[in-house]
A = this chain, B = another copy of it.
Amino acid sequence: MSTHDDAHEEDRPDPSIPSGANVLTAIEVRATDAADLTELLLALRAAGADVVTINSFPATKKGEDDEITRVFDIELRDLGPVEALAAAETVPGVYSAGARPTLGQVFGKRVIVIGGGAQVAQVALGAVSESDRHNLRGERISVDTMALVGEAEIAAAVRAVADLPRAHILVLAGSLMGGEITRAVRELRQLGMPVVALSMAGSVSAEADLVVSDPVQAGTMAVMAIADTARFDLAKLRGRRY
């Protein structure tokens, strides 16, 4: 059962990018082939919900009714869980609906680390250790990494960070990055995403908000930059090198 009604989780703020919402609610709907996602959304909208996120995947739970073929995870605002579940259950094909914490409440803000394996691992070491300290004091920061090779591949991943839910900062961990990667960093920063880069060859570091030589410190600083529990203002350090 994914119907976790852990009061502690429910009370947490959700740092999803669509912030400033009135009520942020998440429901999980288990459905048969007869269920239609658009009808489900129409029912939720009619009840007053603003749907923020939907994920749909095949039902794989063992021992469950064979007719249940699909799961819809829906995050919405402006409507509480009781009303949202009631609305979902009116839709034909919906087998069960349960409330759950939003992914933002559980996994919080995301630090994204992209680059070469050896350096990504060291940045992650710093970022995970630092996030642990902030999470102990009430923050929720997770550290997500992608080890990649190649200018086109890394540039595409940098651009895709703009589409990653709850991504709050990017760390580029490599030894040589430029060209298309630098253009991708410029675009990402234009969207409001801060970028930390290791001190490295290539033009990318000139485009970053902050350049750090030690990968462990780069990870630590990236977490400090997005933690509400830290006194660290990236705006004051813009363009600096450490």
Contact = CB atoms under 8 A, between A and B. Distances in A.
Interface of A: 1-2, 4, 6, 8-9, 16-18, 28, 37-38, 41-42, 45, 51-58, 60-63, 73, 100-101, 103, 106-107, 116-118, 120-121, 124-125, 128-129, 131-133, 135-136, 142-149, 152-153, 155-157, 159-160, 162-165, 187, 190-192
Contact of A62 (B9, B57, B164, B190): B190
B56 A18 contact: yes
Contacts of A2: 159, 162-163, 187
A131 B120 CA distance: 11
Given A18-B57, A37-B41, A143-B145, A128 B117 contact: yes
A-B CB proximity, top 5 nearest = A117-B132, A132-B147, A144-B144, A17-B57, A60-B192
Contact of A145 (B116, B128, B190): B128
A142 B142 contact: no
A120 B147 CA distance: 17
Contacts of A73: 163
Given A53-B55, A60-B192, A107-B146, 5 more contacts: A4-B160, A28-B163, A100-B163, A121-B128, A144-B145
Of A146, A148, A156, A157, the most chain B CB neighbours within 10 A belong to: A146
A61 B101 CA distance: 29
A160 B41 contact: no
Contact of A125 (B124, B136, B163): B124
Nearest to A117: B132
B157 A107 contact: yes
Q: Point out which of A18, A55, A159 has the most chain B C-beta atoms below 10 A from its C-beta.
A: A55
A53 B53 CA distance: 8
A38 B45 contact: yes
Contact of A38 (B42, B58, B146): B42
Contacts of A37: 41, 51
27 contacts: A2-B159, A2-B163, A2-B187, A4-B159, A8-B153, A9-B152, A17-B57, A38-B42, A51-B56, A52-B55, A54-B54, A55-B163, A60-B192, A61-B190, A63-B190, A100-B159, A103-B164, A107-B157, A107-B160, A117-B129, A118-B129, A121-B129, A124-B124, A124-B125, A129-B147, A142-B147, A144-B145
